[in-house]
């Protein structure tokens, strides 16, 4: 196994072009487990840890350009305002030690349906900036996940950054696990209200072969909110709307039974999370704070 | 009686003597990552051993060819069953487990061949070059089939001379069940299950074997019982005890999982074969296949009581799945059966305990040793009985609590302190933790914790009590002894005591306690505890909550003998006497009172030396829509006889309570068709700091009449009552039956 250590981004792209099967490694929190157990033995490892710009982020007018290797700890500490959903998701990733090394780039590269960042990225709306010696392109997050642990990267491409839309409204992220911290998701749900475009976006984790959006639920809710003039009035949403939203979210799941939980439970839990996160975000939108007191109707 | 909820130094205790919060010598090193565990062992010129294991729960080995593996550069040896120098099978109680499988494998993970190579990776790769062909056989994986005599026989020929798949049937008959049924106004029945828990010690199995010039071998290993390892190794290696020398290496937790041998025989075989030092060190996944687990259990309980809440009888049937080999199954089921009536006065009892062979992973010792399972069953059914009677569960427990003089179902009268009611009363008197609204809420304070699943919605509180009793030390006629050697000499003009025992320090603090005893008994400041090894006599196992009692008793005895020798030397300052007469040394063998086996027909006999009691009150909050749980508080009260080191006692109680919490809500090795589905810390979950609540401890110190300093065993009792207290609290919160632990989210919510 060769260990490639490019000193800069261009060099990294050249190395990836030369060795398309090389596996990039940054924090190593996922890959090293597979290597230690001899489950995977790539011919080349491509170490990205010397490329400083991957650990930087820029807050722009409408988007945050988040370097692929920015550790989760940085996100949850410093990007709570701009990326509240992703910050909440970052907080649920593994343990503090892993959060100090793990990054969104790694989650995207592995593209596991259980990756904690995915539901938040899907809900916020994002584009993945990928590059190769051939050039740079941006892949909309909706097109990024192509199968179980597969993504839309070409063999010679590396993930450079992810462009996440800055929050224009409340966002939430919830994850169900059998332990109260440091646990792989049994299922997860991300929700973002986008009052600027009067849309709603969602993301579901660990309840389908890939991270998915609950599109029918989003359309239903956006329709209901528009129809009743809720964005302007800020009135409480009827329980029937919350319930329907939750049902449609559960309907977007395509879960399996495994050691972590049953398909039936996952579908049920996604519905509960959808209903609760809707309550919290809507209360926040109405300016009442997500303290649970004003959410009885949805929660 | 004294009580202490703080762990401050007691007045009057010698400096770091008995009763003091002496700090463990390895504490800071462990926190700093500087402590050398067995996995850190290194020796010049050493090679690495690795184990080929069966992927099948039941198969015949059709072909085994090591030629390709031997050709891999760096490989120095590949060994199979043909290379076992001595007896081909080993075992703690019954030698029925092949050192290496010959023609038949009986569980997934059974060792088949060994490799030694100059690099651990080369060794692992060589394993894949061993050509092996299996013919899969039907596996027996259902313990109920096993007990009924259905399905395949796991051992065609049993080395204990018995037939079939029942390892042992323990039959206890006490009183008159016909009469009892007439007296009972109310009957409560329940069927309870316990999943397979793993010890999940943090330091996987490891050891180093160095061939000696005399044809023997020196072995450094993390274990619970050096001399029993030595005994089993001698048989398998065909060597006398003076050629198999063991030294304890750094142990990263044990909890029963290091009672059976793991790398010991294998590493020694490779070392003797190659003439080179051999290191073996399992990784986490292999560790899950490298030691026995807690027996999964199915238990049928029936309690009869009078209308005013006096228990008249208990009828219990316990079925423990022992997996493919005996390990300690026949003793575990005995211990489970002894205490199937719980910490109560029960005049009539009919208890049948079965442990069986299956092709599931072998099960054996784990903290609590069978009594964990039966305590869970009896305490669950007691809440069930309370509901049927319409009596508060705590009140029902108080009305029936065992006292000194209570006659156990095995016919033995409980001697020594038996403060069952007092422990429960103390728990009840403790104020409840504030409700969620009144608490400072943090990420850890609600069900779901950091995962942000509820802001208070659907959170319901429940409270549950449980109490447990178990025997301390070896029971049932075992001739239990422990030896210590103490030497007092001058170093730099100062008296120094050296203690030498084979007591295994597994984290429980025996090293600290031995030094404390020497300080108290000899009045010296400086004490050196020598490494535990087989150059000194047997200490017995660090298990059964016995080592402080037994090795502590031996050290105390040896110190007293040294003192007597000093007295005989005449008057004078200690330093002067030692200067004049030279070092003074004594060896002492400690024995406890005799115990007796129970009889086969009615299970009667004075089998135990002591009984230890602990109780828990669990306060849980459950997100009833998601089935997620936060244990808010896990208060406990325990009688420890004498807290030899209150700080260490608190550590044992918190740790035992945590292990019980794990079994209640998350810890299970999931096995399907004989195959382990979650052999990793990704999916075998143990509690984190976000799951563990505060454990307020109410310590009773009622001196035990027969033990050194009046102490009683501490390590196991907290593991008994913690699990059912939490399960009862979950039932209180949800109104659900929740018959099986661990209780999973989908047992509570989303059930359809």
A296 in any annotated domain? no
Tell me the residue range of the domain where A105 lies: 2-47+55-165
Q: Is residue B553 domain-shared with residue B656, that is, in the same domain? A: no
pLDDT of B14: 60
Q: Is residue A189 domain-shared with residue A274, that is, in the same domain? A: yes
B551 in any annotated domain? yes
Q: Is the pLDDT of residue A291 over 90?
A: no
Q: Is residue B587 domain-shared with residue B614, that is, in the same domain? A: no
CB atoms within 10 A of CB B118: 15
Q: Is residue A193 domain-shared with residue A177, that is, in the same domain? A: yes
Contact B674, B735 (CB under 8 A): no
B221 in any annotated domain? no
Write the DSSP assignment of A199-257 as a string of letters: EEEEEEESSSSS-B--HHHHHHHHHHHHHTTHHHH-PPPPHHHHHHHHHHHHHT-----
Q: Is residue B555 domain-shared with residue B583, that is, in the same domain? A: yes
ipTM: 0.96
Q: Is the pLDDT of residue A295 over 80?
A: no
Domain CATH number, residue A141: 3.30.465.10
Q: Is residue B709 domain-shared with residue B734, that is, in the same domain? A: yes
Name every chain A residue with its beta carbon within 8 A of the beta carbon of B749. 265, 268-269, 272
Q: What average pLDDT is seen over chain A? A: 95
Write the DSSP assignment of B408-463 as a string of letters: PTTSPBP-S---HHHHHHHHHHSPPPPPGGGS---TTSSTTGGG---SSTTEEEEE
DSSP state of B354: E
Tell me which of A114, A136, A165 is where a domain ends: A165
pLDDT of B412: 98
Q: Is residue B560 domain-shared with residue B674, that is, in the same domain? A: no
Is A260 in Cβ contact with B452 (below 8 Å)?
no
Q: Is residue A257 domain-shared with residue A109, that is, in the same domain? A: no
Rg of chain A over Cα atoms, rounded to whole angstroms, equals: 19
Q: Across the interface, which of A37, A182, A280 has its CB nearest the CB of B455?
A: A280
A65 in any annotated domain? yes
Interface check A179 vs B, CB under 8 A: yes
Interface check B444 vs A, CB under 8 A: yes
Tell me which of A122, A143, A165 is where a domain ends: A165
Domain CATH number, residue A256: 3.30.390.50
**Phi and psi based region of residue B545 (left: phi greater than 0; alpha: psi -120 to 50; beta: remaining):** left
Rounded to the nearest angstrom, the gap between the alpha carbon of residue B751 and the centroid of all alpha carbons in its chain is 34
Contact B513, B547 (CB under 8 A): no
Q: Is residue A265 domain-shared with residue A231, that is, in the same domain? A: yes
Residues B147, B150, B152, CA angle at the centre, nearest 5°?
105
A294 in any annotated domain? no
Nearest to B410 by CA among B595, B167, B191, B184: B595
DSSP state of B507: S
pLDDT of B444: 79
B680 in any annotated domain? yes
pLDDT of A299: 57
A242 in any annotated domain? yes
Q: Point out which residues pair with B301 in neighbouring strands.
A: B190, B316
pLDDT of B418: 98
Q: Please name the residues in contact with B585: beta carbons below 8 A apart, sequence gap of 6 or more.
A: B485, B486, B487, B488, B562
Nearest to B666 by CA among B612, B726, B709, B610: B726
Tell me which of B561, B591, B621 is where a domain ends: B591
Q: Is residue A235 domain-shared with residue A113, that is, in the same domain? A: no
Name every chain A residue with its beta carbon within 8 A of the beta carbon of B443. 91
Q: Is residue A19 domain-shared with residue A160, that is, in the same domain? A: yes
- Measured in angstroms, the CA of B38 and the nearest CA of chain A are apart by 19
pLDDT digits (tens, 9 = 90+) for B117-155: 999 999 999 999 999 999 999 999 999 999 999 999 999
pLDDT of B1: 37
Rounded to the nearest angstrom, the gap between the alpha carbon of residue A282 and the centroid of all alpha carbons in its chain is 21
B135 in any annotated domain? no
Q: Point out which residues pair with B17 in neighbouring strands.
A: none
Q: Is residue B510 domain-shared with residue B640, that is, in the same domain? A: no
Interface check B195 vs A, CB under 8 A: no
Name every chain A residue with its beta carbon within 8 A of the beta carbon of B673. none
B25 in any annotated domain? yes
Q: Across the interface, which of A264, A290, A291 has its CB nearest the CB of B750?
A: A264
Which residue carries 């320090």 as its tokens?
B505
Name every chain B residue with its beta carbon within 8 A of the beta carbon of A184. 682-683
Contact B598, B408 (CB under 8 A): no
B612 in any annotated domain? yes
Is A268 in Cβ contact with B457 (below 8 Å)?
no
pLDDT of A289: 46
Mean pLDDT over A248-275 rounds to 97
For the record, the structure tokens of A38 come out as 């001899």
pLDDT of A36: 87
Q: Please name the residues in contact with B107: beta carbons below 8 A apart, sequence gap of 6 or more.
A: B54, B57, B58, B323, B324, B325, B359, B360, B361, B362, B674
Contact B340, B318 (CB under 8 A): yes
Considering chain A, what percentage of its residues have pLDDT values greater than 70? 96
pLDDT of B438: 75
- Measured in angstroms, the CA of A179 and the nearest CA of chain B are apart by 7
Considering chain B, what percentage of its residues have pLDDT values greater than 70? 97
Which residues, given as ranges, of chain B have pLDDT below 70?
Answer: 1-14, 440-441, 443, 752
Is A290 in Cβ contact with B750 (below 8 Å)?
no
pLDDT of B441: 67
Q: Is residue B651 domain-shared with residue B697, that is, in the same domain? A: yes
Q: Is residue A92 domain-shared with residue A187, that is, in the same domain? A: no
The torsion angles phi and psi of B691, rounded to 5 degrees, stand at -105, -30
Q: Is residue A253 domain-shared with residue A142, that is, in the same domain? A: no
Is A292 in Cβ contact with B456 (below 8 Å)?
yes
- For chain A, how many structural domains are there in total? 2
In terms of CA atoms, which chain A residue is nearest residue B668?
A259
Q: Is residue A160 domain-shared with residue A175, that is, in the same domain? A: no
Angstrom distance (rounded) from CA B724 to CA B728: 6
Q: What average pLDDT is seen over chain B? A: 96
The torsion angles phi and psi of B532, rounded to 5 degrees, stand at -75, 130
Q: For the packed helices A263-285 and A239-251, what is the interaxial angle rounded to 10 degrees? A: 140
Report the side by side order of strands in the sheet with A135-140. A57-59, A63-67, A158-165, A126-132, A135-140
B679 in any annotated domain? yes
Q: Is the pLDDT of residue A293 over 90?
A: no
Q: Point out which residues pair with A64 in neighbouring strands.
A: A59, A164
Q: Is residue B522 domain-shared with residue B548, that is, in the same domain? A: yes
Is B677 in Cβ contact with A177 (below 8 Å)?
no
Angstrom distance (rounded) from CA A13 to CA A113: 27
| Extended strands (E) in A154-211 | 158-165, 171-176, 187-194, 199-205
- For chain B, how many structural domains are there in total? 2
Q: Is residue A26 domain-shared with residue A64, that is, in the same domain? A: yes
A260 in any annotated domain? yes
Q: Is residue B451 domain-shared with residue B579, that is, in the same domain? A: no
Number of Cα atoms under 13 Å in the Cβ half of residue B97: 29
Binning pLDDT at 50, 70 and 90, where does residue A298 land?
low
DSSP state of A258: B
B517 in any annotated domain? yes
Nearest to A179 by CA among B689, B262, B413, B180: B689
Which residue carries 């050709």 as its tokens?
B71
pLDDT of B8: 35
Q: Which of A123, A179, A206, A268 to mutate to test the interface with B (most CBs of B within 10 A)?
A: A179
Tell me which of A130, A165, A200 is where a domain ends: A165
Q: Is residue A145 domain-shared with residue A8, that is, in the same domain? A: yes
Contact B322, B154 (CB under 8 A): no
Q: Please name the residues in contact with B575: beta carbons below 8 A apart, sequence gap of 6 or more.
A: B490, B493, B494, B495
Tell me the residue range of the domain where B567 lies: 9-35+481-591
pLDDT of A292: 43
Angstrom distance (rounded) from CA B372 to CA B384: 18
Q: Is residue B447 domain-shared with residue B514, that is, in the same domain? A: no
Q: Is residue A188 domain-shared with residue A161, that is, in the same domain? A: no
- Measured in angstroms, the CA of B393 and the nearest CA of chain A are apart by 28
In terms of CA atoms, which chain A residue is nearest residue B746?
A265
- Number of helices (H) and strands (E), helices first, in chain B? 18, 29
pLDDT of A38: 84
pLDDT of A275: 98
Q: Is residue B687 domain-shared with residue B617, that is, in the same domain? A: yes
Q: Is residue B466 domain-shared with residue B496, that is, in the same domain? A: no
Contact B127, B138 (CB under 8 A): no
Omega before B456 within 30 of 0, i.e. cis: no
Domain CATH number, residue B429: 3.30.365.10
């Amino acid at each position: 196994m060769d260990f490639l250590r490019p000193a800069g981004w261009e060099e990294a792209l050249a190395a990836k072009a030369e060795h398309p099967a090389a596996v990039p490694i940054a924090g190593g929190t996922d890959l090293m487990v597979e290597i230690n157990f001899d489950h995977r033995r790539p011919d080349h490892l491509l170490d990205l840890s010397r490329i400083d710009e991957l650990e930087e982020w820029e807050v722009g007018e409408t988007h945050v350009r988040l370097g692929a290797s920015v550790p989760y700890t940085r996100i949850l500490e410093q990007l709570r305002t701009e990326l509240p959903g992703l910050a909440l998701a970052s907080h649920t990733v593994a343990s503090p030690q892993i959060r100090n090394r793990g990054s969104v780039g790694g989650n995207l590269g592995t593209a596991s349906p259980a990756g904690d960042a995915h539901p938040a990225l899907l809900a916020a709306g994002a584009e993945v900036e990928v590059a190769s010696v051939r050039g740079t392109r941006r892949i909309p997050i909706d097109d990024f996940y192509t199968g179980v642990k597969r993504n839309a990267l070409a063999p010679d491409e590396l993930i450079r950054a992810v462009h996440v839309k800055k929050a224009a409204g409340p966002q939430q992220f919830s994850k169900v696990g059998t332990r109260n911290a440091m646990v792989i998701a049994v299922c997860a749900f991300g929700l973002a209200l986008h009052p600027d475009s009067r849309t709603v976006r969602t993301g579901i984790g660990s309840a389908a072969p890939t991270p998915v959006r609950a599109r029918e639920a989003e359309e239903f809710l956006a329709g209901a909110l528009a129809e009743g003039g809720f964005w302007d009035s800020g009135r409480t949403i009827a329980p029937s709307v919350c319930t329907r939203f939750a049902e449609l979210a559960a309907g977007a799941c395509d879960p399996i039974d495994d050691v972590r939980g049953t398909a039936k439970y996952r579908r049920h839990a996604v519905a509960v999370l959808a209903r609760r996160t809707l309550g919290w975000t809507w209360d926040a939108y109405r300016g009442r704070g997500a303290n649970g007191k004003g959410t009885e109707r949805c929660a | 009686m004294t009580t202490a909820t703080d762990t401050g130094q007691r007045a009057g205790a010698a400096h770091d003597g008995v009763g003091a919060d002496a700090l463990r010598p390895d504490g800071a090193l462990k926190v700093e990552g500087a402590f050398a565990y067995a996995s850190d062992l290194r020796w010049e010129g050493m090679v690495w051993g690795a184990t080929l294991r069966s992927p099948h729960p039941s198969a015949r080995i059709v072909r085994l060819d090591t030629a390709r593996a031997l050709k891999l550069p760096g490989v120095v040896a590949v060994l199979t069953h043909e290379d076992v120098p001595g007896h081909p099978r080993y075992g703690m109680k019954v030698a029925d487990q092949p050192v290496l499988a010959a023609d038949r494998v009986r569980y997934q993970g059974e060792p088949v061949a060994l490799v030694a190579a100059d690099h651990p990776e080369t060794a692992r790769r060589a394993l894949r070059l061993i050509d092996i062909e299996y013919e899969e056989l039907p596996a027996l994986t259902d313990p109920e089939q096993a007990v009924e005599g259905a399905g395949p026989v796991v051992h065609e020929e049993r080395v204990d001379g018995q037939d079939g798949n029942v390892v042992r049937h323990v039959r206890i008959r006490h009183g008159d069940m016909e009469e009892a049924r007439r007296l009972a106004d109310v009957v409560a029945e329940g069927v309870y299950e316990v999943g397979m828990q793993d010890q999940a010690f943090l330091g996987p199995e490891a050891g180093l074997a160095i061939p000696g010039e005399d044809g023997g071998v020196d072995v450094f290993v993390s274990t619970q019982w050096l001399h029993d390892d030595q005994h089993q190794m001698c048989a398998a290696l065909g060597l006398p005890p003076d050629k198999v020398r063991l030294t304890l290496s750094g142990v990263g937790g044990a909890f029963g999982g290091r009672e059976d041998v793991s790398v010991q025989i294998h590493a020694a075989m490779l070392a003797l074969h190659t003439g080179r030092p051999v290191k073996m060190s399992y990784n986490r996944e292999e560790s899950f296949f490298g030691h026995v687990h807690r027996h999964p259990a199915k238990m049928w309980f029936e309690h009869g009581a009078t209308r005013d809440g006096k228990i008249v009888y208990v009828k219990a049937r316990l079925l423990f799945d022992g997996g493919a080999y005996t390990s300690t199954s026949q003793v575990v089921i005995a211990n489970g059966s002894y205490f199937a009536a719980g910490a109560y006065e029960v005049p009539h009892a009919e208890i049948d305990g079965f442990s069986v062979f299956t092709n599931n992973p072998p099960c054996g010792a784990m903290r609590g040793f069978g009594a964990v399972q039966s305590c869970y069953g009896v305490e669950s059914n007691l809440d069930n009985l309370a509901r049927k009677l319409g009596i508060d569960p705590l009140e029902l427990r108080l009305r029936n609590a065992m006292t000194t003089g209570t006659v156990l179902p095995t016919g033995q009268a409980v001697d020594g302190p038996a403060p069952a009611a007092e422990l429960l009363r103390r728990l009840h008197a403790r104020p409840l933790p504030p409700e969620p609204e009144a608490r400072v809420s943090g990420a850890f304070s609600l069900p779901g914790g950091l995962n942000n699943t509820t802001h208070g919605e659907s959170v319901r509180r429940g409270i549950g009590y449980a109490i447990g009793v178990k025997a301390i030390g070896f029971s049932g006629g075992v001739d239990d002894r422990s030896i210590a050697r103490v030497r007092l000499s001058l170093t730099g003009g100062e008296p120094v005591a050296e203690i030498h025992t084979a007591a295994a320090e597994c984290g429980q603090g025996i090293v600290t306690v031995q030094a404390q005893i020497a300080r108290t008994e000899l009045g010296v400041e400086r004490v050196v505890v020598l490494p535990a090894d087989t150059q000194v006599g047997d200490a017995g196992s660090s298990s059964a909550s016995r080592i402080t009692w037994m090795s502590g008793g031996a050290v105390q005895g040896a110190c007293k003998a040294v003192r007597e020798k000093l007295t005989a030397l005449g008057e004078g300052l200690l330093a002067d006497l030692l200067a004049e007469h030279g070092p003074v040394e004594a060896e002492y063998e400690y024995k406890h009172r005799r115990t007796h086996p129970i009889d086969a027909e009615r299970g009667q006999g004075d089998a135990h030396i002591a009984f230890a009691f602990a109780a828990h009150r669990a306060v849980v909050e459950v997100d009833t829509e998601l089935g997620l749980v936060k244990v808010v508080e896990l208060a406990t009260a325990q009688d420890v006889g004498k807290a030899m080191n209150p700080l260490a006692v608190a550590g044992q109680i918190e740790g035992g309570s945590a292990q019980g919490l794990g079994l209640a809500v998350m810890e299970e090795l999931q096995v399907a068709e004989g195959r382990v589905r979650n052999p990793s810390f990704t999916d075998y979950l143990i509690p984190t700091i976000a799951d563990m609540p505060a454990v307020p401890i109410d310590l009773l110190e009622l001196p035990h009449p027969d033990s050194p300093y009046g102490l009683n065993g501490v390590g196991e009792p907290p593991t008994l009552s913690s699990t059912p207290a939490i399960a009862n609290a979950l039932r209180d919160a949800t109104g659900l039956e929740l018959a099986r632990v661990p209780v999973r989210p989908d047992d509570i919510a989303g059930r359809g």
